[in-house]
Structure 1
Amino acid sequence: MASSSTSPRMIELAAKISSSVAELQSLLSAQGLPSPSFDEDSPESLPASAAKLQDVVLDATAELHELLLEPMSAVFRFSAISNLVSIDAICRFGIADMIPAGGQISFAEIAEKTPLDEALVRRLLRHSMAMRILREPEPGMVAHTKISKFLTLPYINAWVRVGAADGWPASARMVDAMEKWPSSESPNETGFCLANNTTKSIYEILAEDPERAMRFGASMKSFDHFPGWAIAQVPKLYDWASLGDARVVDVGGSQGHVAIEVAKSFEGLTFLVQDMEMFVKDAQAPEELAGRVEFMAHEIFAPQPVAADVYFFRLIFHNWGDKKALEILRAQIPALKPGAIILIQDGIMPEPGHMPLWRERDMRAVDMNMGCFFNSRERHMDEWKSLLAKADERFVLKRVIEPERSLLAFLEVVWDAPSAKS
């Protein structure tokens, strides 16, 4: 969009960047914190007090960068899936783990520890270095940046491997799936299915392949690094104390990691974690939470057999299209009493300009991933309202809580609110 100002847009952006960076540096200096760098021991994130400045600088620098790119360069950059090749190689061959902390290793030494020859190692790693992943402190030597050091985390390694082995091929076939099955919401009519030449859903494929399932499961912890996704943040992002002494059913809660985290902070709450038998059969709560966090095998589409005050769904509905999401909601109805709360923690797709663009891009990328793997999506607010209304008019959306900087929101839904007041 052309600027209405008489000043050229790139001048405006440069001024904004300059003033905001100066303000950011003053804030960090006042708190005795280091300036951001690519050093391997540099802090992963900026302090919360710097969030708004970070948003301004990241959006402005991205806009300035993209403003100066020629169209072909912009398209090439945004469509360059080849970037994943060197990152996958670093993770697949454990190259990041070969580099000593604070030290360095040669291309030749890496080649000796992998199936790759030295020329190929150099080719792959210099490609990654152009993205500031790894660095070459002296000719022929490899050292960490803070980005490559991040790849030494096992679950980040698993996330990259899932992206390369599963996400990349599935994404490449997503538009093919759209053409073959227009408007489909079926989990066995996806880019993932075409890439794997199967009529089975990803759920069925993972159930048959323990190694693949373990890698996929391990990669999920990587989302703790997205704002609002970390399990440790769940007790802080919603007013759990307002529930009082309540019984909470954590529907699809796996091995109870979230229930345990919330129960530690709110003594009035007791949790029943429901999930498939394979997830809950060996699950245990810590000794200090015995009797307050319990487990039950239950299929998410089966009628809810347990009466409770709250039914909590964390990152459940974004795995399913509307047809299956409606089944999940309606399955709760047999157990609901007037005033019962359906508490949903999930994404709400932003309208343009609602959040900083760099964060919006992350959220829209997650949305694309949900499509290629599950044939599902992140929903806009009007889509959430429509889903609840279609499920049953007695599902009343009481309020929506969107914590600042979180990519996840809380939808607080009350069952038959008028009856609860009478």
Structure 2
Amino acid sequence: MASPSSTPRIVELAAQISSSVTDLQERLSAQGIPSPSFAEDNPKDFPEDLNSLRDALLDATAELHELLLDPLQLLYKFASIPNMVGIDATTRYNIAGMVPHGGQISFAEISERSGLDKGLVRRLLRHAMSMRIFQEPEPEMVAHTKISSFLSIPYINAWASFEARDTWPAATRVVDSIEKWPGSEEPNQTGFSLANNTDKPVFEFVGAHPERMMRFGSAMKAVDHVPGHAPELISKDYDWASIGNASIVHVGGGRGQIALELAKNFENVKLTVQDMAMMVEGAESDVPDQLKGRVEFMKHEIFDTQTLEADVYFFRMVFRNWCDKYALQILKAQIPALRPGAKILIQDACMPEPDSVPLWRERVQRSVDVALKCYSNGRNRYLDEWKALLAAADERFRLNQVFLPKNSLLSILEIHWVEL
């Protein structure tokens, strides 16, 4: 975007970056926090109270970097096709797990342990090093950076592997699926369907392949690292105390991690977790003694008619997986159990309008949105799309307010059921 002043944009950005970095470093030093680096032991999470300053710096440095690239190099950067090769090899052979923390290992030893040719190991890892994954502290030796150290965590390795082996091939077929099935809202007419030559929806297909299901299941914990997604934040994202002595049904609540977090922090609520049989089977054994009787589990398919009367029906990252055709079915399925004053809480993305949030965060949200299209023809929705969805389901669904917790990519939509 051109600057309205006569000062060249790159000069403006340089000044902004210089001033902001000085401010950032002073505030880090005052808190006794090390300056950001790629060192293996450098903190992997950023202090929340400095997020606004970090947001501004990330956007400014990205803009300066991208202004200085010619169009072909900028397109190449965003295409990043070869980058997935190095990430895929790193995760598939668990190379991050071979590198000792605080030490180093040779290309030759990695070759021996992985079964890969030494020259190929060097080729792949030096490519990864160009992305700050690993470092070469001395010739032919490999050591961790904080990024490769992060990849050595099993569930993070599983997530990166799932992205490389499952998401990446499917993403390359999204436009093919649009051409093949114009306007389709079906979960089995997607890029994933084409990449895997299947007519099964993604969860049904993955569930029939144990290795992929294990990879997917392990990878889901990585979502906790996405801004605002960690389960322990749920108690702060909404004024749960305001609902009083309430019964809550968590529809699609999995093994109850969120329900347990809420029950632990709010003694006046009782929760029933609903999900498919394979998810809730045996889950009650994980409920701590002090929460027994306040967190229960019930087999319930998400499109089935709701049979439990409750004060609140909570959906967390459910509707994003479905296009409007199926999202309407989920909403309408709740109606038979709703009574005046009941609330539906939907924790999901409310897509930002352009320039309304830091660009780096916007890029994350738009990437997730495309991935949802890739997998199930689901999508993240704008506020006007949420309103249209509720109106199409039933005029008695009234959007009361939208909560957007600070630094979170998830909103909470509070919907009231009103009698006309």
Alignment TM-score, normalising by the size of structure 2? 0.98
Could you tell me which residue of structure 2 aligns to residue 399 of structure 1? 401
Letter in 1 for 2:345: L
Letter in 1 for 2:135: R
Are residue 375 (structure 1) and residue 377 (structure 2) matched?
yes
Matches within 5 A, 1:278-289: 278-284=278-284, 285-289=287-291
Look up the match of 1:35: 35
* Amino acid aligned to 1:338: P
**Are 2:329 and 1:293 equivalent residues in the alignment?**
no
| Code of the aligned partner of 1:269 | V
For the residues of structure 2 that align with 1:155 and 1:182, how far apart are their CA atoms? 36
Alignment partner, residue 304 of structure 2: 302
Is residue 245 from structure 1 mapped to residue 212 from structure 2 by the alignment? no
Match of 2:123 in 1: 123
Match of 1:390 in 2: 392
Match of 1:323 in 2: 325
Give the 3-state SS of the residue equivalent to 1:412 in structure 2. Answer: strand
Percent identity reads 60
Task: Give TM-score scaled by structure 1 length.
Answer: 0.98
The one-letter code matched in structure 1 to 2:380 is E
Q: Which whole-Å CA distance do the structure 1 matches of 2:48 and 2:300 have between them?
A: 39
CA-CA distance at 1:37 after TM superposition: 0.6
Aligned-residue offset at 1:210 = 2.3
Query: SS of the residue aligned with 2:119?
Result: helix
2:96 corresponds to 1:106: no
CA-atom RMSD in angstroms: 0.8
Q: Which AA in structure 1 matches 2:375?
A: F
Q: What amino acid is aligned across from residue 337 of structure 1 in structure 2? A: R
Within a 5 Å distance, the mapping from 1:207-356 to structure 2 comes to 207-284=207-284, 285-356=287-358
Match of 2:168 in 1: 168
- Distance in 2 between the 1:194 and 1:306 partners? 39
- Report the secondary structure of 1:21's partner residue: helix
d(CA) in 2 for partners of 1:223, 1:357: 20
For structure 1, the residue ranges without an aligned partner over 5 or more in a row are none
After superposition, the C-alpha distances for 1:319-339 in whole angstroms (9 at most, x for unaligned) are: 000010000000000000000
Partners of 2:263 and 2:25 lie apart in 1 by 39
Task: Give the 3-state SS of the residue equivalent to 2:59 in structure 1.
Answer: helix
SS at match of 1:304: coil
Distance in structure 1 (CA, Å) of the matches to 2:209 and 2:45? 36
Instruction: Provide, for residues 115-140 of structure 1, a one-character-per-residue CA deviation record: whole Å limited to 9, x for no partner.
Output: 20110000000001011110000000
1:345 aligned counterpart, secondary structure: strand
**For residues 282-327 of structure 1, what are the alpha-carbon distances to aligned partners after superposition, in whole Å with 9 as ceiling and x for unaligned?**
1122211100000000111011000000000000000000010000
Where has structure 1 moved over 2 Å in runs of 4 or more?
none
Deviation at 1:211, TM superposition (A): 2.2
Question: 1:38-62 CA distances to partner (integer Å, 9 max, x unpaired)?
Answer: 1101001221121111011100000
Equivalence for 1:84: 84
Name the aligned partner's letter for residue 374 of structure 1: S
Amino acid at match of 1:187: P
Query: CA–CA distance in 1 between the matches of 2:116 and 2:26?
Result: 46
**In structure 1, what residue type is equivalent to 2:233?**
Q
Alignment partner of 2:361 out of 359, 371, 377: 359
Aligned residue in 2 for 1:408:
410
* CA deviation map 1:78-112 (0-9, x unaligned): 10221011111111111111111110000001001
Structure 1 position 207, deviation (Å): 2.4
Q: Which AA in structure 1 matches 2:167?
A: G
| 2:283 alignment partner, SS class | coil
Residue 397 of structure 1 aligns to a residue in which SS?
strand
**Number of residue-to-residue matches in the alignment:** 418
CA distance in 2, matches of 1:88, 1:41: 24
- Unmatched runs of 5 consecutive residues or more in structure 2: none
Within 2, Cα distance between the matches of 1:222 and 1:162? 11
